[in-house]
Structure 1
Amino acid sequence: MKILISNASSDPIYMQILTQIRQSILSGELVAGDSLPSIRQLAKDLQVSVITTKRVYEELEKEKLIDSVVGKGCFVSGINQDFIREQRMKRLEEKMLEIIRESKELSMTEQDVIQLFTMLSEEETSS
């Protein structure tokens, strides 16, 4: 798992870390049972405060994406695949809403967006 922190980003550091770990879990890069670095180790590796990494892990635990086991560390949760799919669908919907807003700003019609999607989909399939 590689985490990149950008000082130029408008997102706070904890949010950048949270987003990247969440994405690694939801994309399947990290699977149920995989261990995460300790809070202290992650803080050291990223050169951030332990408080920052603790906040990230607490948020991931609230989202039921990781489990903390006292004395053993943090692990990717054994959540079921339906939950992961639902979370990924939610993120896809957010991205689609962003596309809709952007296309309206560009005065694109729904048909224009569909044509662009179809063209890009065909290109992706053929490559």
Structure 2
Amino acid sequence: MEIILSNSSSKPIYEQITTQIKGMIMSNELKTGDALPSMRSLAKSLHISVITAQHAYEDLQRDGFIETIAGKGTFVAAQNKDFIREEELRNAEEKLQEAADIARRSGISLSELVQILTLLYKEV
């Protein structure tokens, strides 16, 4: 599991970790039952404080992405497909909101924006 942190990002470090681990789980790079490094191990490998790693793991656990079993470790939780879809939909909405804001500021019409999105969507 490779996590890349950016000091120049506006996102806090724990959020960068959370986002990347969620992405690995949603893309199936990390599968249900896969073990994650301990908080101390993660902190050591990323050169961050254990408190930052703990914050990331707490967020992931709260959101249902991971589960911690006392004495055994932290693992990727069994995912509810509806939950994953909802998370992805929320992510897409954020990106589309950003695109809509740029289009409004730049004078790009809604029909042009829809046309661009349609082309990008069908490109794959």
- Shared fold by TM > 0.5? yes
User: Partner amino acid for 1:97?
Assistant: Q
Percent identity, aligned pairs only, is 44
> How far apart, in 2, do the equivalents of 1:3 and 1:65 lie?
16
Alignment of 1:1-127 (within 5 A): 1-122=1-122, 124-125=123-124
Contact 1:66 1:75 in 2 (8 A): yes
Q: Alpha carbons of 1:115 and 1:16: their partners in 2 closer, same or farther (altered >3 Å)?
A: same
Flag structure 1 segments of 5+ consecutive residues without an equivalent. Answer: none
Q: CA deviation at 1:119?
A: 3.0
Q: Distance in 2 between matches of 1:114 and 1:79?
A: 32
Per-residue CA distance 1:77-99 (angstroms, 9 max, x = gap): 11221211121112112211111
Q: How many residues align?
A: 124
Helix, strand or coil at the partner of 2:36: coil
Unaligned runs of 5+ in 2: none
In 1, the alpha carbon distance for the partners of 2:107 and 2:28 equals: 36
SS of 1:41's equivalent in the other structure is helix
Q: What TM-score results when the alignment is normalised by the length of structure 2?
A: 0.91
Q: For the residues of structure 2 that align with 1:85 and 1:121, how far apart are their CA atoms? A: 17
SS in 2 for 1:31: coil
Instruction: Specify the SS of the correspondent of 1:82.
Output: helix
Q: Which amino acid aligns with 2:57?
A: Y
SS of residue paired to 1:67: strand
TM-score where L is the length of structure 1: 0.89
The one-letter code of the counterpart of 2:83 is F
Q: Does the CA contact (< 8 Å) of 1:26 and 1:87 recur in 2? A: no
The runs of at least 4 aligned residues of structure 1 exceeding 4 Å deviation read none
